[in-house]
Chains A and B, each alone.
Chain A
C-alpha cells in the first residue's frame, strides 16, 4: 500500500498562511510555493503528491502537472539525499566550470540525471544560477557552493558523505 500523502501539521499551517497571501479567488497563485513545500517534505513530486496539492488548492490535477513539468526545480522522479544542481552555462564555463564538472562526475562516479548507488547524491545539470562572477558553482537545496575547484569539490563531497 502506498503511503498516505499529507503535509505535516507545521507545513499545513504554512500552507494556510501562503494561501492567505492572495485574493480569495486567486488561490492558484499559491501553487508554486506549495509545490516547493511538498518537495521539501517528500524530496520529489509524485503524481499522488501533485493530486494532493490540487485538492488543497481546489484545482484540477492536470493544472498541477502542467506547472510542475514546466519548471526545472521540481523533481518528477525520486532523487538522492543530496541533489547537486550544477551550473553548466557559459559564464561558469568561462570560469573553468567544465573541468570542475568533469572532476565532480568522476568523484561521484555518475553522470547527469543519475543517482549514486548509495542513494546519497543525485547530479543534475542546471542553467545559470545567477552567481556568474562567483563561479563555478552548484547548489544543493538552498545552499550555494561557489568558487569551486577540484579540491573544494572533494571536501564538499566527503563532508556530505559522512
Chain B
C-alpha cells in the first residue's frame, strides 16, 4: 500500500501536517478550536454536507508552496482541499472577520429571534455563532419572512421560521434512514424544510434529524417546553440495542429522564446515530447503564456564562483587550540577546507589521 502523502498547512500561524485530501476545515480542527472556523451547515459524518452557510469562509493567503499566489476570493474552508504549504488566515484576517459578521447578519434577518421560547436555546449553534462572530445590533427593519406551521408527527417538532437551510436533516434522512419523506421545497428565501403533504417523519432513525439540526427548527416533541437545557443534567449512558450503538446522553431534570439524545463530539457532531427506540421509548434510568456526567462538549452561550467565560473566543475582543493591556517589560536576562536578534529578523518585522495593521482595525 502506498503511504499517505502528508502536507503542511498553516492556519493563523499554526502549522499542522495532514494527509493529502484533507479540507482546510479538518486541518484547522486538527490544530484546535482556537483556529477552527465556525460551521453551520458542514457536518463531517454526513456526505455532501457543507458549502452552503458560508460561515466558514477563510482567506487563503498562499495557495501552496508550488503556487504561492493567494486565492482571489474568500473560500469555504469545509469544502476546499488544503495544499502543501498553504497559508490560511481565519481569525487573524479582518476581511474574514468582517465577512462572517455579514453572514451572521444574513442568517438572522429572517430568524424569529424567539430564543426565550425555543427549546434549542443554550445548545443552539446559531446563538453561538451570533455571539462569537456577529454584531450586537441589526440594520434590518423589514418584515420577517414567516411560514405556515406543518405537523410532521408526534415525535418531531418542526419550526420552519428558525430554519437556516443547512440541509443536514435532508442528508441525514437520505443517508441514515431507509426512506426520506421530507426535503427542501420551493426556492430562494421561501425555501423551506417540508414533507409537502404534512406527513409524519417517523421511521427507526428519524429522530436523528433533531440532533443534527444546528438551530431550533427540528426539536424533540416529547421534550417540548419541559426544561431549559441549562437546568437539565446530561449523563453519558449506554444500553444494548439491536438497532444502534446504544450510546446516548440522558438529560435529567431531578430524577426524571426528560430527553435522550445521541452523543456529540467537540464540534457538535453526532458520530453514533441512535434509533428511535433509544430516543423515545427508554426514558427510565433502569433502561440504561450510567457511565457518568457528560463533559459539556461544546462551549455555548449558556455554558460559557455558566461554566466560565474563559472558554469564549471572540477575536476582536481578545485582540483589543490584549492591545490595551500590552506593556513592554525591560528584561535584563541573558536569553534576551537572542530575542534582540529575533527582533531584527524579517519574519519578526513582517509579523509585527501584520499585527499592527490588525490592531489598528
Contact present between A and B (CB < 8 A)? yes
Q: Is the CB of A62 within 8 A of B183?
A: yes
B62, CB-defined interface residue at 8 Å? no
A150, CB-defined interface residue at 8 Å? no
Residues of B within 8 Å of A60, CB to CB, are: 179-181
Tell me how many residues of A have a C-beta within 8 Å of chain B: 9
A118, CB-defined interface residue at 8 Å? no
B195, CB-defined interface residue at 8 Å? yes
Residues of B within 8 Å of A47, CB to CB, are: 196-197
Bound form: Cα–Cα A19–B180 in Å: 23
- With A47-B196, A47-B197 as given contacts, are A66 and B179 in contact (CB-CB < 8 Å)? no
Q: Is the CB of A69 within 8 A of B181?
A: no
Residues of A within 8 Å of B186, CB to CB, are: 69-70
A65, CB-defined interface residue at 8 Å? yes
Q: Is the CB of B181 within 8 A of A62?
A: yes
Interface string of A37-49 (1 = CB under 8 A from B): 0000000000100
| Prevailing SS type, chain A contact patch | helix
- Residues of B that sit less than 8 Å from A by CB: 179-187, 194-197
Q: Is the CB of A69 within 8 A of B179?
A: no
CB distance from B329 to the nearest CB of A (A): 63
Residues of B within 8 Å of A61, CB to CB, are: 181, 197
Bound form: Cα–Cα A63–B173 in Å: 12
Residues of A within 8 Å of B196, CB to CB, are: 47, 62, 65, 69
Residues of A within 8 Å of B197, CB to CB, are: 47, 61, 65
Closest 4 CB pairs of A and B: A65-B196, A69-B185, A66-B183, A69-B186
CB distance from B292 to the nearest CB of A (A): 41
Bound form: Cα–Cα A73–B288 in Å: 53
A65: contacting residue among B179, B185, B187, CB under 8 A = B185
Q: List 5 A-B contacts (CB under 8 A).
A: A60-B181, A61-B197, A62-B195, A63-B180, A69-B187
Interface string of A63-92 (1 = CB under 8 A from B): 101100110000000000000000000000
